C-alpha cells in the first residue's frame, strides 16, 4: 500500500484538486483538517467528525506531550486507538505552541525549553524530541520542528530565525528517517518560513526542497498580519514550493481566507475556528456568520442554514439553538460544532468541485457575494 | 388511540412490571425517566437518549417557564418539536423547585410568588398557572401543583402543608380538565405528601383517590431523609395508592435506591444523577460507581463496565475517559452521560425481567452484592 502519494486531478488557475493516498485512507484536496487538540475534536464524537466529511484530523504535540503524555499514548496503542479515529492524523511539531508561551520558554540552537501551562513543570522540545513524540503518538503526517517568529520583526531577525528553522528541518528529516517502522508508514512535511518577505520565503523553499519532504507547509502566517498581507504572501509563497507536493497553510482560517488561499494554490488547511466558534455561539453559513446569542433568533424556526444538509440543520431551529446557547447547555456547543464542521467540509467539497469544473473564479465570486452580504 | 392505559403484566411480591400506553408511545415499567431540565437531557442528543432505552423524559416547568418561556415554547410548536423528542414527556409542576428558592419565595393559599434565579424578575405559580404552563409546553404527563415541605418539621406543619397540597390537587384537576384539546391527549398525576408519617400519607392517598388521577406520585421524599427513612416510608406509601395506577417516586435516585423502591411497589422514577454524575466524572457500573478522575484509571484499557453494551463501553477505554475528564473535555461528559443513561436503562430492564420471571429477590440480592463489593 502507498505510504504517501499525491495525485493532482485538475487545476484551475493556480488552484489544484487531488488526492493524497496514505495507508490509513485517502485525503481529498483542498482539505480542511478539524483540530483535535487534546485527542478529541472538542464536543464531537469521531464518527460525527467523519460524517461531516473530514478525511484527516490534526493533533497537537504540545498538548498531548503534557497530557496524557506521548509515552503513555504509545503504551495505550497510539493516538488512533486512544481516541477511536482510524483515518490519517497530522500532528504539529509543538513549535508554534511553545513559542506562544512568551514568558515561559527559552530558545537555543538545540531547541526550546519551556514550562507547562498546566503545572509549571519544565520540558524540552527539539527537532529530535518532536519527531520522537510524533512517532510515539503514531502520527501519519509528521511536521518538522520549526521556529515561528513574531511577524513584525526586522528582516535580519526573520532571516536568522528562518535559517535556524531550516537547520531544524534537516535535523527533523534525519530524526524522522531514523524512526524505523513508523517512518515506513508515515509522511514528513517541511515548513517554509520567512514571514512576508518574498526573498526569504524563496530561500526557505529552496532549503526545504533540497532536503526533500512529502509535503510542504507555509508557516508563520495567520499570526495577526491580516488577510491582505497574508494573501500578498500567498501570491508568491505556494509557487516557490514543489509543484507536485501538497502545500499546507497552517492555522487558516476563516471561510473567506480558505477560498482566497485555494485560489492561490494551497491544498491543506487546519483551524480551530469551526470548533471554537461552535462553543462560543457562532455559526458559519453561506450567508456569513451568525451570532446565535442574538435575541433576534429567539423565535426563528429556520435552520442555521437553509442549504445545509447537516444533522443540526435538518433537525433543529435557530430558536432552539439560541435557547441552548443562552442557557449554556452543552448540546448547543455540540450542535453548532457539528454544523460548523459540516459547513467547512461542504465548502471544501464545493471548492474541489469548482476546480474540477474549471469554475473556481465564478464560485469564489459567488461565495464572497453571498457571504459578505449576509 | 389510548389516552392513558396502564397494564400490569406480572407482579413479584409488591413489585410490578407493566406498560403505560399513551398517544406518543409506550412506557415500560418500572421506568426511569432521564431529566431534560432546560429542554435538553444535558450533553445528549435525543436520539442517544432513546438509544439508551428511555421511553419518556422529564422536563422542568420552573426552568422552562423562565427560559425560554412557556408561551414561547407554545408559539414554536411545543416542547416535543422544540427539542426533537417525539415520545412522551412528563413535566413536573414547578412546585418543588420554587419551594427550594427558600429566601426568594412566598407561599399563600393562592400559590407561590418567587424571584427568578436568572434575573430576579417576579413570577407566580399556582395550580392554575402550573397547569397552563404544562399545557403550553404540550406535556404528556402533567403533575399536580403541590407544596413539598422540609421533611424535619412537626407533624402539624406537615399535616397543614399536605392538606393545602390536597386542595391544590383538586384545583390542578379542575384546571387540567378545563384544558380542552390538551386534556384529551394528556394524563394528570396527583402527588401524595405527608413526609414520613403513615397516617398523613394515608389521608393524602385517600384525598387523591377521591379526586381521581391517571397516576400517583410519592412526593416529599429524597429530600435528605436518607435511604433507611425513605425505604421505611416506602414500606407503606405505595400500598396506600390505587393498585391499578402507576406509582411514581419523584427525584429518585441512586441505583440501589431504585432497586429497593421497585421491591416496594414503585413503577416510575426520575433523577439527575446519571446525567449530573456523567458531567462530574462519576460512572455507574454493576460493580459500583467509579470516579474517573482517579489516577488509577490513567492506563487502564478496560471499558467503564465489562458487561455494558453501550457505545462508550464498546469503544473507549477508562484511560481515555480519565484523560478527557482530567482535561475538562466536553467529550468526557458526553461519553460518561451516555454510559450512565444506558446503565440506568439496563438496570430498569433487568428489574422488569426479574419481576416477569419471579426472581426479583434473587436479582436484588445479587445486584447489591456486586454493587457494594465493587
Number of helices followed by number of strands (H, E) in chain B: 16, 16
Query: pLDDT value at position B327?
Result: 98
Domain boundaries, chain A: 5-270, 272-374
* Beta partners for residue A283, in sequence order: A290
Helix (H, G, I), strand (E, B) or coil at A371: helix
Other CB atoms within a 10 A radius of the CB of residue B26 amount to: 16
Residues constituting chain A: 374
Helix ranges restricted to H, B178-298? 181-185, 198-211, 227-234, 237-240, 255-263, 273-279
Q: Do B84 and A315 touch (CB under 8 A)?
A: yes
Q: Do B334 and A330 touch (CB under 8 A)?
A: yes
Find where cell 450542535 sits: A335
Contacts of B301 in chain A (CB under 8 A): 76-77
The stretch B168-179 carries a mean pLDDT of 98
B123 Rama sector, left if φ>0, alpha if ψ -120 to 50, beta otherwise: beta
Q: Do B72 and A299 touch (CB under 8 A)?
A: yes
Q: Do A324 and B40 touch (CB under 8 A)?
A: yes
Contacts of A331 in chain B (CB under 8 A): 40, 42-45
Q: Considering the domain A5-270 in this protein, what is its CATH number?
A: 3.20.20.105
**pLDDT category of residue B238 using cuts at 50, 70 and 90:** very high
Residues of A annotated catalytic, as ranges: 92, 270
Residues B372 and B374: their CA atoms lie apart, in Å, by: 5
**How many CA atoms lie less than 13 Å away from B131 in the CB half-sphere?**
24
Residues B5 and B214: their CA atoms lie apart, in Å, by: 8
Contacts of B38 in chain A (CB under 8 A): 323-324, 327, 329
pLDDT in tens, A252-284: 999 999 999 999 999 999 999 999 999 999 999
pLDDT in tens, B290-343: 999 999 999 999 999 999 999 999 999 999 999 999 999 999 999 999 999 999
The closest alpha carbon to B245, from B3, B14, B8, belongs to: B8
* Beta partners for residue B186, in sequence order: none
For chain A, the 3-state helix, strand and coil shares in percent, each to the nearest 5, are 45, 20, 40
pTM, full prediction? 0.98
Residues 6+ apart with CB under 8 A from B154: none
The pairing of beta strand B89-91 with beta strand A282-283: unpaired
The stretch B179-206 carries a mean pLDDT of 97
Query: pLDDT value at position B301?
Result: 98
pLDDT score of B47 more than 80: yes
The closest alpha carbon to B36, from B20, B28, B48, belongs to: B48
Among the partner-chain residues A40, A44, A331, the one whose CB lies closest to the CB of B40 is A331
pLDDT in tens, B240-294: 999 999 999 999 999 999 999 999 999 999 999 999 999 999 999 999 999 999 9
Q: Do B82 and A317 touch (CB under 8 A)?
A: yes
Is B351 within 8 Å of B363 (Cβ atoms)?
Answer: yes
The pairing of beta strand A215-218 with beta strand B187-192: unpaired
Query: pLDDT value at position B101?
Result: 82
Binding-site residues on chain B for chain A (CB distance < 8 A): 38-40, 42-45, 67-68, 72, 75-77, 82-84, 279, 298-299, 301, 315-317, 319-320, 323-324, 326-327, 329-331, 333-334
Q: Do A329 and B75 touch (CB under 8 A)?
A: no
Query: pLDDT value at position B1?
Result: 64
Q: Do A317 and B76 touch (CB under 8 A)?
A: yes
The closest alpha carbon to A125, from A81, A71, A66, belongs to: A66
pLDDT in tens, B91-141: 999 999 888 886 678 999 999 999 998 999 999 999 999 999 999 999 999
Residues B330 and B316: their CA atoms lie apart, in Å, by: 15
Query: pLDDT value at position B184?
Result: 96
Query: pLDDT value at position A50?
Result: 98
Cα distance from A186 to chain B (closest Cα, Å)?
Answer: 24
Q: Could you give the C-alpha distances from B326 to A68, A74, A80, A119, in angstroms and in order?
A: 9, 19, 19, 13
The domain B4-270 having CATH identifier 3.20.20.105: the answer here is yes
Q: How far is CA A225 from the centre of its chain?
A: 18
> What does residue A79 show for φ and ψ, rounded to 5 degrees?
-65, -35
Residues A87 and A28: their CA atoms lie apart, in Å, by: 13
Instruction: State the greatest distance between any 2 C-alpha atoms of chain B, in Å, as a whole number.
Output: 60
The stretch B341-361 carries a mean pLDDT of 98
Which of B68, B73, B314, B341 is the best residue to mutate to test the A interface, defined by the most A CB atoms within 10 Å of its own CB? B68
Cα distance from A161 to chain B (closest Cα, Å)?
Answer: 33
Q: Do A333 and B330 touch (CB under 8 A)?
A: yes
> What does residue A357 show for φ and ψ, rounded to 5 degrees?
-85, -5
The closest alpha carbon to A114, from A131, A96, A128, A132, belongs to: A96
C-alpha cell at B253: 435516585
Is B273 within 8 Å of B290 (Cβ atoms)?
Answer: no
Which of B35, B42, B45 is the best residue to mutate to test the A interface, defined by the most A CB atoms within 10 Å of its own CB? B45
Is B36 within 8 Å of B245 (Cβ atoms)?
Answer: no
Residues A55 and A51: their CA atoms lie apart, in Å, by: 10
Helix ranges restricted to H, chain A? 46-51, 61-66, 70-75, 79-83, 95-99, 127-137, 155-177, 181-185, 198-211, 227-234, 237-240, 255-263, 273-279, 318-326, 330-357, 360-373
C-alpha cell at A365: 465570486
Active site residue B92: yes
Among the partner-chain residues A43, A279, A323, the one whose CB lies closest to the CB of B39 is A323
Angle subtended at Cα B151 by Cα B149 and Cα B154, rounded to the nearest 5 degrees: 90
Looking at every residue in chain B, the average pLDDT score rounds to 97
C-alpha cell at B371: 454493587
Find where cell 503513555 sits: A72
Is A91 within 8 Å of A58 (Cβ atoms)?
Answer: yes
Which of A330, A333, A336, A339 is the best residue to mutate to test the B interface, defined by the most B CB atoms within 10 Å of its own CB? A330
Residues A261 and A234: their CA atoms lie apart, in Å, by: 7
Cα distance from A330 to chain B (closest Cα, Å)?
Answer: 5
Cα distance from A85 to chain B (closest Cα, Å)?
Answer: 11
The closest alpha carbon to B131, from B168, B175, B78, belongs to: B175
Helix (H, G, I), strand (E, B) or coil at B357: helix
pLDDT in tens, A37-72: 999 999 999 999 999 999 999 999 999 999 999 999
Q: Could you give the C-alpha distances from A248 to A32, A144, A215, A220, in angstroms and in order?
A: 10, 13, 8, 12
Is A63 within 8 Å of A38 (Cβ atoms)?
Answer: yes
Catalytic one of B92, B146, B257, B305: B92
Contacts of B84 in chain A (CB under 8 A): 315-316, 320
Cα distance from A60 to chain B (closest Cα, Å)?
Answer: 14
The closest alpha carbon to A186, from A166, A208, A215, belongs to: A215
Query: pLDDT value at position A214?
Result: 98
The question of ipTM being above 0.95 is answered as yes
- Kind plus residue range of the DSSP H or E element containing B352: helix B330-357
pLDDT by residue for chain A (374 residues), tens digit each?
Answer: 689 999 999 999 999 999 999 999 999 999 999 999 999 999 999 999 999 999 999 999 999 999 999 999 999 999 999 999 999 999 999 999 888 886 678 999 999 999 998 999 999 999 999 999 999 999 999 999 999 999 999 999 999 999 999 999 999 999 999 999 999 999 999 999 999 999 999 999 999 999 999 999 999 999 999 999 999 999 999 999 999 999 999 999 999 999 999 999 999 999 999 999 999 999 999 999 999 999 999 999 999 999 999 999 999 999 999 999 999 999 999 999 999 999 999 999 999 999 999 999 999 999 999 999 86
* Beta partners for residue B27, in sequence order: B20
B108 Rama sector, left if φ>0, alpha if ψ -120 to 50, beta otherwise: beta
Among the partner-chain residues B39, B301, B327, the one whose CB lies closest to the CB of A76 is B301
Q: Do A323 and B68 touch (CB under 8 A)?
A: yes
Amino acid at each position: 500500500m502507498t505510504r504517501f502519494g499525491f495525485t493532482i486531478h485538475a487545476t484551475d488557475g493556480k488552484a489544484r484538486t487531488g488526492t493524497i493516498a496514505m495507508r490509513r485512507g485517502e485525503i481529498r484536496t483542498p482539505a480542511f483538517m478539524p483540530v483535535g487538540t487534546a485527542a478529541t475534536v472538542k464536543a464531537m464524537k469521531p464518527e460525527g467528525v467523519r460524517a461531516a466529511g473530514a478525511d484527516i484530523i490534526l493533533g497537537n504535540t504540545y498538548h498531548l506531550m503534557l497530557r496524557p503524555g506521548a509515552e503513555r499514548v504509545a503504551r495505550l496503542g497510539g493516538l488512533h486507538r486512544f481516541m477511536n479515529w482510524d483515518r490519517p492524523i497530522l500532528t504539529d511539531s509543538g513549535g508554534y505552541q511553545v513559542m506562544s508561551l512568551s514568558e515561559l520558554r527559552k530558545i537555543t540552537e538545540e531547541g526550546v525549553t519551556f514550562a507547562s501551562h498546566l503545572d509549571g513543570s519544565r520540558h524540552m522540545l527539539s527537532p529530535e524530541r518532536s519527531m520522537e513524540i510524533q512517532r510515539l503518538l503514531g502520527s501519519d503526517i509528521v511536521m518538522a520542528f520549526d521556529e515561528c517568529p513574531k511577524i513584525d520583526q526586522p528582516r535580519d531577525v526573520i532571516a536568522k530565525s528562518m535559517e535556524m528553522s531550516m537547520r531544524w528541518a534537516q535535523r527533523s528529516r534525519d530524526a524522522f528517517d531514523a524512526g524505523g517502522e513508523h517512518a515506513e508508514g508515515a509522511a514528513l512535511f517541511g515548513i517554509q518560513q520567512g514571514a512576508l518577505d518574498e526573498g526569504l520565503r524563496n530561500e526557505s523553499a529552496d532549503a526545504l526542497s533540497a532536503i526533500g519532504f512529502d509535503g510542504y507547509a507555509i508557516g508563520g502566517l495567520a499570526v495577526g498580519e491580516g488577510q491582505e498581507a497574508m494573501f500578498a504572501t500567498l501570491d508568491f509563497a505556494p509557487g516557490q514550493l514543489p509543484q507536485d507536493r501538497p502545500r499546507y497553510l497552517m492555522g487558516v482560517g476563516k471561510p473567506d481566507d480558505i477560498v482566497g488561499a485555494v485560489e492561490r494554490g494551497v491544498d491543506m488547511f487546519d483551524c480551530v475556528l469551526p470548533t471554537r466558534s461552535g462553543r462560543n455561539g457562532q455559526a458559519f453559513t453561506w450567508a456569513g456568520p451568525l451570532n446565535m446569542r442574538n435575541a433576534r433568533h429567539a423565535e426563528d424556526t429556520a435552520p442555521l442554514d437553509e442549504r445545509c444538509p447537516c444533522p443540526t440543520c435538518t433537525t433543529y431551529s435557530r430558536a432552539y439553538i439560541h435557547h441552548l446557547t443562552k442557557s449554556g447547555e452543552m448540546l448547543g456547543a455540540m450542535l453548532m460544532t457539528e454544523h460548523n464542521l459540516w459547513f467547512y467540509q461542504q465548502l471544501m467539497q464545493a471548492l474541489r468541485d469548482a476546480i474540477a469544473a474549471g469554475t473556481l473564479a465564478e464560485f469564489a465570486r459567488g461565495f464572497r457575494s453571498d457571504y459578505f452580504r449576509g
